[in-house]
Chain A
Amino acid sequence: MTKKRTECDPGPCGNPGICSTLSPAFPCLMSLIIFLILFVLFPCPLAGEENEETRCIEILSTPSNENLFEKVQACERLAILGTDRCVPILSSYLSDPYLSCYSRSCLEGIPGPAAAAALRRAMNELEGELLLGVIHSVGVRQDAQAVDALSLLLSHEDLKIAAVAASALARIATPKVARCLMDAFASASPEVLLHLADAILTCAARIEPREAIVLYDALCQAELPAHLKAAAARGAVLSRGKEGIELFLEFLLHDEPQFQNMALGLARTWGGEEITQALIHAMDKLSLRDQVLMIDVFLDRRDALSRDALLQTLASQQPRLRVAALRGLGILGDDSCVQTLMDHLAAPILPEERDAAASSLSKINAPIDDTICLALPHAKPEVKIQLMRILTQRRSLESVPFLMDQAREPWVEVSLAAFTSLAALAPHETLPKILSLLLSCPPEAMDTATEILATVASRNPDAASRAAPIVVFLQEELPVRLRSGLLKSLGRIGNQQAYDTLREALEHEEKDVQDSALRALLSWHDTTPTDLLLDVAGQTKDPVKRTLALRGASRMIDMPLSKCSSPSPQLLSWLRRMREQVQSPEEVKLLLSRLASTCHPDALDMAASLLDMPEARQEACLAVVQIAGLLTSMGPSEGVRSALHLVSNKAPGTPVGIQAEELLARLNAPMDYLLAWQVNGPYMQEGVMCEDLYPMAFGPEQGQEPEKWQWLIRSPTEEGPGRINLLQIMDGPHRVAYARTWLISPEEQPARLGFGFDDGGKAWLNGQVVCEANTSGAWTKDQHIVDVTLRKGENLLFLKLTQHSGPWEFSVRVFGLEDKPLNGLQIAIMEPVQDLP
């Protein structure tokens, strides 16, 4: 929407654009008629503003102080649209202590001579602070006709008036003003001298440089505070252009700190190679500390000469200077600096120089990798190591073949460094070559070498074939130690081919190989080897091997568990197998730690059965209480009660015993927050934000039963109100999730539901929408309270939850009317069928 004013010269018709198309041959009467028609159809844009200006003038013309605020408003409008017409009335308020500023706001901006003349007149009529304001406004208008009058004020007895007059003259900034200011400056009293100096500086910055030189030089020679002289010195230098370089250097070398600071700042910003050259020549006149500072200046200048200056500085006898220059080359250097840096890397006088050179080589923004690679074979071992680290930091893929050569080096440290670099850089296609290196690398480097294999293999986008080169290599005749290392790397790769190979290796004739295979399986990334490990634990007679296998199985059992997720039949089966095999207290405690995270009555039974083992009683009590806490969230049960009673009897007065009793009490208490949910999601659509996802219906909302509902259960003993944190099981911004639970009511009864969402939510009770909140923001308790009627029996509460970003959580509280608890409610989560993750 554009409503633009244009310069308007109405002419006879009020609209020049239209007028110009009319032939002058039309009779005047006809012209008048046409004018009237056009005026109605296309009113002059100025007409409205003229009326408004008139209204403002009328307001201002009313007797003073009757309507002060209205007058202020009138001034504010005139500041934008006022013309010469309003100048007289505005001028009358220049002497008003409340309205003078508003009046001047208008007069400063109204174009034309009238406003300027009004302010000049007021200068002759006013005194005190009101005069100060008017003088300032004259300066804002840059009224050249006021120069004489302002010049007279420079010697006013009131220092403030003289100061403002100087400031106003400075804004006008003509050669005549410059002369007036200088004349006044020559004979000024000390009190006004600083203000005049300031004005001269401002004026000088606005006039021609060749005229400004005189002003700046005069200030530099005058008795003034150092900071003003320094400002003048800056002007004196710059107004001379390149001829000011010599002067600039004088200030740089001056003993007055303000001059030096000014020159230092100028050194950073005054462009041109002549300046850089001058700075280079001045270096040796500076102290060591300041030469180091000058290097920082060169880093700001960034020209080729600055880089050359750093290179020259490397010949200095001062180590600090050399180090600073070496570091600087990391920013300014190019490929011409590489050899120099490598020389300092290879033969530093001090360790700091080597480090600085290495740092710079890793940062230089130029194609220098091949130069470094070519230097590798001929460098000393310690230098090779540095160069390889540099290539790694530069992420130099072209260096990989050179690194492989170095991996064969008889120097162990060099070989190790090469393998470390290969771990960071080598593409997966080079894996066969790396494997063949293992046969020729120093034995001391073999462990490191095998450790990198999985890292390199992981770069293969085809996960199923990552282990293939290693499996093939294992078919060779290999030393046991190497074979063991390769098996370990298969454990880290963790695909099917690796698993099959490790399973076979469990049966190898060499015990060391068997152990390596077992250890490799212990660190598997998912639950695939669980049954195998439990088999090993059950079959072996070696207690160490049994414990190892159980430990591995336990670790895998823990993987799909979160303390609030539903355990699958497979998981429960593993736990039962483990229960059968545990013997030592350590193994029992291992099992109990897993049981404690398992929300299932079978887990509770297994934990309770271990209460009689004295060495593990404490852990058993803790596990029982933890499991019971989760099951309690789903409502009371006799199994839970009896287990808690057992703990309470076996550990009376202890913290865990007290916790058991608290849970028992909660079992009898009415429900408040709903703490057990099935959750499904997340759902999203690319590019669609949270608030636009809200109205979209995904699978569960469309009546489609998803493959998997996860459990999210919160123990009632957890601190804080009953917020369910979705980030425990899913994340990502701009997402949707669904949650459901069933309320079992003993009878039809009214109830109140209190919802809290972060971010948004929608709730259905038995298929009816009861709450909608397409919002974004933090959770608060009972953000939305709705009255509902619960049916007798099952009531499905179904939620849709949206996520913008940050926390993602919700809470639902159920209570009776007038915030009284509802008795007899239970919650239920239907037992889903879960596949192993």
Chain B
Amino acid sequence: MVWITTEDVLDAKERLSMAKSKKWTRRGFLKGAGLAGVSLSMPAFIPSACQGKDSRVAPSERIVLGAIGVGGRGYYDLTAILQEKDVQVVAVCDVRKSMRERAKSTVDAHYGNQDCVEHADFRDLLDREDIEGIITAPGDRWHTPISVMAMRAGKDVYSEKPSTLTIAQGRILSDVARDHARIFQTGTQRRSEALFVLADELARLGRLGEVHTVYAHTLPFAMHRHWLPEAPLPAKEDLDWEMWLGPAPWRPYHPDYLNGCGAWLDFFDFGTGVAGWCSHTICQCQGVLGYDLDSGTEYHYPGNSNADSFRVSYAHGADLVLSVGSSKWKGSCGVRYEGTEGWVSMADGYHSPEVSSPSLLSDRRRLVQEYMERTRRPMNHLRDFLDCMRSRRQATTHAEVAHRSMTTCHAINISMLLQRDLTWDSSKEEFVHDEEANRMRSRAMREPWHM
């Protein structure tokens, strides 16, 4: 870790706020050479351990954030990020009035004031120059459009998973993050959880021998196209249905679409098929296989309707197999890595990974500690995002990682919908000799939305 004092940061933050308050002016970029002792004014990295047990970082030193989509998971993320002492949440946004009121109430109670602003339209929140970053969880259909618009508006983004609705969206997301030099993190938080990291390290460090098969937990595949029967629209100030739909094609309103993420998740227009859980588990597996910046090559349709036993082959020979049931683990979002010399399973709720031999866990704490020291990453996904906002280092699951793991998920979905095997060319980012599959890499966005 690089240790920087609070005084340095205070100085930097003051200069940043001064810079922002100026109306932007023309600058010659070729000027300014030979400026001795010029400082990088972006708030620099403050390890949380520096701040003491109960200390709060002064408001002027905090990262200013907004939250877009503060229902279910979004509300959870909001409460989690409020625990970070160097963050100031100043605005919340949701198309549902009850959700944004609840979020505002929570934020105000945390800070002991009434300063949090509610927005019904996320574009108003993105227009705010004081907001440096957003956390967003408005539903799969919105994740990429909002992330892209936010990054184009100069904000860093923490987007819940699944971060993309299509393969084409993923490419745009990654390109925008790169071209606009923005920090992006997708909410695959198990990449920053100690026990999952331990399981991953056992595989990466060769403790299992050569890893030949990885298993990823999935919810049963479902991408329904039917419409629920039309119901009377609520008042717009309570729910803006047009905004809720956003870029998804029009369909009549029904309240059941809004009963938690499980309600809309199984619909083709709103959800992402296997990516409900596979956005986590495939991201985990690909990281272990060394395919963070790549995707699977061969997609083997299993001949069933729920994607159980769907097999993806990777270029170097390993296979990824989806598992709907929990025969290889107990709990949700399970993964299992099998090698020539052992295996490890891990899922939510475990106190310790399951291993083929207890000796694999003999130095568990040291493995995780060494991982943290080697990568300089905390075991906290949101914290990693915040640290990267300050240091401008790419986050653990940055946009390209998110795009590539989601590409594998989307390819699986397409294979399930077409009910056939597929072959993917990672360098061209297209299916080999399959026009129908290639058409399914993207979908039209409902007007007026565009990227």
Contact of A286 among B24, B39, B326, B451 (CB under 8 A): B39
1/0 per residue, CB under 8 A from A, across B195-206: the answer is: 000000000000
B205 to chain A, nearest CB (A): 12
A79 to B440, CA, bound (A): 8
A140 to B42, CA, bound (A): 37
Contact between chains at B181 and A261 (CB < 8 Å): yes
Contact between chains at B250 and A254 (CB < 8 Å): no
Is B435 in contact with chain A by the CB < 8 A criterion? yes
A248 to chain B, nearest CB (A): 11
Contacts of A725 in B (CB 8 A): none
Contact between chains at A289 and B8 (CB < 8 Å): yes
1/0 per residue, CB under 8 A from A, across B376-410: the answer is: 10000000000000011110000000000000000
Contacts of A288 in B (CB 8 A): 8
Contact between chains at A327 and B179 (CB < 8 Å): no
Contact between chains at A257 and B15 (CB < 8 Å): yes
Is A654 in contact with chain B by the CB < 8 A criterion? no
Is B446 in contact with chain A by the CB < 8 A criterion? yes
A280 to chain B, nearest CB (A): 16
Contacts of B39 in A (CB 8 A): 286-287, 289-290
Contact between chains at A293 and B35 (CB < 8 Å): no
Contact between chains at B225 and A73 (CB < 8 Å): yes
Contact between chains at A129 and B448 (CB < 8 Å): yes
Known: A258-B154, A266-B181. A286 touches B40 (CB 8 A): yes
A257 to B376, CA, bound (A): 24
Known: A2-B420, A198-B152. A101 touches B445 (CB 8 A): yes
A295 to B180, CA, bound (A): 24
Contact between chains at A261 and B392 (CB < 8 Å): yes
A437 to chain B, nearest CB (A): 28
Contacts of B249 in A (CB 8 A): 72, 101-102, 105
- List A residues 267-282 near B (Cβ within 8 Å): 268-269
Is B26 in contact with chain A by the CB < 8 A criterion? yes
A143 to chain B, nearest CB (A): 15
Is B124 in contact with chain A by the CB < 8 A criterion? no
Chain A residue total in the interface (Cβ 8 A): 102
A256 to B39, CA, bound (A): 10
Contacts of B8 in A (CB 8 A): 288-289
Contact between chains at A108 and B444 (CB < 8 Å): yes
A130 to B444, CA, bound (A): 13
A730 to chain B, nearest CB (A): 15
Contact between chains at B374 and A296 (CB < 8 Å): no
Contacts of B45 in A (CB 8 A): 293, 296
Chain B residue total in the interface (Cβ 8 A): 82
Is A755 in contact with chain B by the CB < 8 A criterion? no
Known: A81-B436, A101-B445, A286-B40. A164 touches B24 (CB 8 A): no
Contact between chains at A227 and B42 (CB < 8 Å): no
Known: A7-B433, A261-B181, A805-B330. A109 touches B448 (CB 8 A): no
Contacts of B41 in A (CB 8 A): 255, 257, 260
Contacts of A269 in B (CB 8 A): 394
Contact of B447 among A7, A80, A101, A233 (CB under 8 A): A101
Is A457 in contact with chain B by the CB < 8 A criterion? no
A243 to B218, CA, bound (A): 49
Known: A234-B181, A293-B45. A221 touches B2 (CB 8 A): no
Known: A220-B29, A226-B24. A776 touches B42 (CB 8 A): no
Contacts of A252 in B (CB 8 A): 40
Contacts of B350 in A (CB 8 A): 805-806
1/0 per residue, CB under 8 A from B, across A359-372: the answer is: 00001000000000
Is B91 in contact with chain A by the CB < 8 A criterion? no
Contact between chains at B447 and A247 (CB < 8 Å): no
Contacts of A260 in B (CB 8 A): 40-42
Known: A268-B392, A293-B44, A295-B2. A231 touches B35 (CB 8 A): no
Is B1 in contact with chain A by the CB < 8 A criterion? yes
Binds B, one of A131-139, A560-568, A788-796: A131-139
Is A655 in contact with chain B by the CB < 8 A criterion? no
Contact between chains at B32 and A137 (CB < 8 Å): no
Contact between chains at B2 and A255 (CB < 8 Å): no
A689 to B443, CA, bound (A): 43
Is B38 in contact with chain A by the CB < 8 A criterion? yes
1/0 per residue, CB under 8 A from A, across B311-329: the answer is: 0000000000000001111
B79 to chain A, nearest CB (A): 27
Known: A80-B440, A136-B450. A227 touches B180 (CB 8 A): yes
Name the residue in B26, B41, B419 with the highest tally of chain A Cβ atoms < 10 Å from its Cβ.
Answer: B41
Contact between chains at A247 and B44 (CB < 8 Å): no
Contacts of B443 in A (CB 8 A): 79, 105
Is A733 in contact with chain B by the CB < 8 A criterion? yes
Is B193 in contact with chain A by the CB < 8 A criterion? no
Contacts of A234 in B (CB 8 A): 179, 181
Is B303 in contact with chain A by the CB < 8 A criterion? yes
Name the residue in B392, B394, B436 with the highest tally of chain A Cβ atoms < 10 Å from its Cβ.
Answer: B392
Contact between chains at A285 and B37 (CB < 8 Å): yes
Contacts of A69 in B (CB 8 A): 227
Contact between chains at A776 and B447 (CB < 8 Å): no
Contacts of B35 in A (CB 8 A): 253-255, 285
Q: A139-B450, A292-B4, A804-B326 are in contact. List 4 more A-B contacts (CB 8 A).
A: A133-B450, A136-B447, A257-B42, A320-B5
Give the 9 A-B CB pairs with smallest separation, nearest first: A227-B154, A133-B447, A109-B439, A289-B8, A265-B392, A105-B444, A296-B2, A287-B39, A136-B450
A-B contact pairs, 16 of them (CB 8 A): A105-B444, A231-B180, A247-B30, A250-B29, A256-B19, A256-B27, A259-B29, A261-B392, A265-B393, A265-B394, A285-B34, A288-B8, A290-B40, A299-B376, A324-B2, A331-B373
Chain A residues within 8 Å of B, Cβ to Cβ = 1-7, 69, 72-73, 76, 79-81, 97-98, 100-102, 104-105, 108-109, 111, 129-130, 132-133, 136-137, 139-140, 160, 164, 167, 198, 201-202, 205, 220-231, 233-236, 247, 249-262, 264-266, 268-269, 285-290, 292-293, 295-296, 299-300, 320, 323-324, 327-328, 330-331, 363, 689, 691, 733, 776, 804-806
